[in-house]
Amino acid sequence: MTEQTGGSQSASKGTVHLVHLYPREMSIYGDLGNTRALASRLRWHGYTPVVHDHHPGADWPDEAHLLLGGGGQDSGQLRVQEDLDRHADRLRELAADGLPMLMICGMYQLFGQAFITVEGRRLPGLRILDVTTTGNATRMIGPVVLDTDAGQVVGYENHSGATVLGQGQAPFGSVVAGQGNNGTDGTEGARTGNVIGSYLHGPILPANPVLADHLLEIAVTRATGQWQPEQLDDSTAQQAHQRQVMRLLAADRRSTSRVGRLLPRR
């Protein structure tokens, strides 16, 4: 399904095509909000967004300037596997060409080397990101703060898969609060070129407008040749973002202090 959500073409600075991969099967944790946030911000910046919902078996849209994918259950990943394999070469070519992509949770896992379900079934990934994920019985759930190239990013993780980065694979961010890829190595997500994989739901983009505009700048430049943003009032989102950072860092300091008091004195 394709939806043009912009105003009049005559007033538009240009048309930008967003492709949401498998919104029925792989967007069950509110990640549809990322697509809506980008479409809204495109309109506010004076551009015309066209959203393509790509479902299994559908033809690929003629134009794509930014790709999004969300989280889902293991059964959802099984349902999209065949279609993802059908478009694998195209997706790898687009990633290598610098197309911006944001893949959350289940789609992040499928963009890696492989996802091994909790039952031991191995699903091959697209190998765009050098990560391997193994399903676990224990979930990692809770709010997260990251240090990233786009500044501090906040979100909410909810995943049972534990992801390990390959040698040389850059993470999306360093964990300041939360558990991240696997709860042990301090990394969260992965980034290769303009492809970002992450476990942060929330959804992540409405809570982090700087990251949203970072992706849009790349997409709009590819679509129109230049990025001409408007001055948007993000004060409410920025206040919520900052309060979340302060709250989690304060909780982390209290936890560290409490652990320190429990340690035996030498």
Do residues 120 and 151 make contact, with C-beta atoms less than 8 angstroms apart? no
Residues in a beta bridge with 191 = 170, 196
Catalytically active residues are: 105, 201
Of the candidates 129, 66, 104, the residue with the CA atom closest to the CA atom of residue 201: 104
Measured CA distances, 132 to 109, 110, 135, 166 (Å): 7, 9, 10, 8
Is 79 marked as a binding-site residue? no
Give the neighbor-by-neighbor strand order of the sheet with 195-198. 2-4, 48-54, 15-21, 66-69, 101-104, 195-198, 190-192
Q: What is the CA radius of gyration of the chain?
A: 19
How deeply is 233 buried, as exposed, middle or buried, from its count of CB atoms within 10 A (0-12, 13-18, 19+)?
A: exposed
Strand stretches in the chain, DSSP E: 2-4, 15-21, 48-54, 66-69, 101-104, 114-116, 122-124, 131-148, 151-165, 173-177, 187-188, 190-192, 195-198, 200-201
Task: Extract the annotated binding site for substrate.
Answer: 139
